[in-house]
Structure 1
């Protein structure tokens, strides 16, 4: 079987992943500066908290870039299957930051709610520019979420999928900020912390989900039945295979290493068995671009 990795065979996928990370990083740098400044000048605690959220996004986007570069290092003696697990670690980092963001927003919402209850909150001087900034953030993040989601579907990269969820979380956070600012301008200040608390729960749920999924990959949990069924369906069209006895797939980042056990006719010569094995490898590689390597074991079936 060809030993070239999918990174080498599909450089455009790597370029697409880099693009998704870069536009997210630069957008968050811009938004962090914009929201923090407008939050301070416009006397908006909600927008200022959202700006701090974008600042934390910048930190973990840098971490993601580093891990993705490490994941593309070629296989070596200590890592014969490559370094694709760095992508899973990067997704785990994203999940951890999302959970941290959810906790921070929940805490901030509770704090603002308490200050409203005690009458210690000052809402005078709240600027309409804070609202425009929050709305601009929603529009920008919606575009980023759509683009990143498409790239994630094409590349099957767990990091990009996690970043898509993060963009969606940012949309919800900014929507809560916009709602809070709007109603605060109208005198209904209690909605701001309430909306923030509700959004924080959704963010926490997303972060925990990403951490759980990434942890399962690091623990080498067997992939779902869908991939198993797809592989068996492809092998059903390979001449000479009596049955597919076992399919085991191990995920390494966006790629899979697959081990397959086949049953062939017991009366055929070894050379025919090798040909069937080669045909099976070729069929898998042609139909699944995200499968890095295939290892096939065959044995004769019972008469």
Structure 2
């Protein structure tokens, strides 16, 4: 089973559990609020049912957001989760406005203290606090900001129920205005949470960079590896709490292509192990000599190595310059090193074609020819035996 599918199953299970309790508690509080004529209790019941609406959003979104990448969504579908969280924030904002207006415009002097109303509130506080911890733990486990936001929605229901409890106690003590005050407090609490959800997830939709402290920790993780130097040009975007990272690293100039690829994979693996919220890492390999050219790149936008010819042109030049030696040279497998704004090369020659004395003479001739080529800083000849004659 894929990781995304496992995360989807966890999100679905947690959301269904929360939805069932939201429905039961919401109905219980609305009924109790109606018979006790408590606006605060009715408002809290509506709040619980609004949790049920958001649970439905979360349920269907989690089923789609955890699908893997496809042709139209190469980065996956996690943005659906972020967008849904923004919509949840607007829904909660409307709920908050409605509760606040209802508290102000309705007469709360007829509110009565009832034991069944008290029981409904106490049950809500206990259950919603338990759901908060259950949902938040699952959200952190799968790095789902939507699930964590839904958990805080449950916590807000528990806190608002505490406010309603205070209002009921106020009514019991002969303070009828306490019911209205508790309703307004519930509205403000929901509104504050809604604004936070909207703001945080809108920032994610426009690719706002993650926490600078986290980026510094990631850089430190990469910098702690041997043969990896000066991680730089780091960019990251967030998708539903998961981070997609691009970065450059410097590796020793003598490293081969395969070693550079190995070090890139090592950096990506180490970062994802140390920082589970990082889902994908794209690593660009620079050599250590390019550290001194970074300022040049920033000023001109063009790395100095690009002033040198590409491999195709170099092989064509070598084929012409060394045409008299082509019978024992493997020019196509010439190794090129773009270092220190200059070009070093290693030319492969077949040792079984010539005697050792001839090899020395030919090497001297080839190096003399290449020494007069403007873009070549250093050249060397490697004589090897072909496999069938080894």
TM-score using structure 2 length:
0.69
Of 216, 219, 244, the match for 1:232: 219
Structure 1 range deviating more: 95-104 or 217-226: 95-104
Is the CA contact 1:266–1:301 (under 8 Å) kept in the aligned structure 2? yes
Instruction: Quote the Cα distance in structure 1 between the aligned partners of 2:137 and 2:170.
Output: 35
Partner residue in 1 for 2:229: 242
Superposition pairs of residues 82-231 of structure 1, within 5 angstroms: 82-112=76-106, 115=107, 121-123=109-111, 126-231=113-218
Instruction: Quote the Cα distance in structure 2 between the aligned partners of 1:275 and 1:46.
Output: 62
Instruction: Quote the Cα distance in structure 2 between the aligned partners of 1:289 and 1:127.
Output: 49
Partner residue in 2 for 1:34: 28
Cα 1:245–1:30, aligned 2, differ >3 Å: closer, same or farther? same
CA deviations 1:206-254 (Å, max 9, x no partner) are: 2101100010111111111132122212212322112101221221223
Instruction: Quote the Cα distance in structure 2 between the aligned partners of 1:215 and 1:123.
Output: 40
Is the CA contact 1:43–1:127 (under 8 Å) kept in the aligned structure 2? no
**Structure 1 unaligned spans of 5+:** 1-6
Which of 1 and 2 has greater Rg? 2
> Secondary structure of the equivalent of 1:245?
strand
Shift of 1:11: 5.0
Whether 2:39 is the aligned partner of 1:45: answer: yes
Of 4, 13, 16, the match for 2:10: 16
Partner residue in 2 for 1:60: 54
Is the CA contact 1:255–1:291 (under 8 Å) kept in the aligned structure 2? yes
Instruction: Quote the Cα distance in structure 2 between the aligned partners of 1:290 and 1:27.
Output: 30
Partner residue in 2 for 1:283: 270
Cα 1:273–1:97, aligned 2, differ >3 Å: closer, same or farther? same
Is the CA contact 2:8–2:62 (under 8 Å) kept in the aligned structure 1? no
How many equivalent residue pairs? 290
TM-score using structure 1 length:
0.87
**Structure 2 unaligned spans of 5+:** 290-339, 341-390
Partner residue in 1 for 2:373: none
Is the CA contact 2:129–2:155 (under 8 Å) kept in the aligned structure 1? yes
Relative contact order higher in (CA < 8 Å, ≥ 6 apart): 1
Instruction: Quote the Cα distance in structure 1 between the aligned partners of 2:268 and 2:98.
Output: 50
Instruction: Quote the Cα distance in structure 2 between the aligned partners of 1:249 and 1:208.
Output: 24
Cα 1:123–1:251, aligned 2, differ >3 Å: closer, same or farther? closer
Shift of 1:15: 3.4
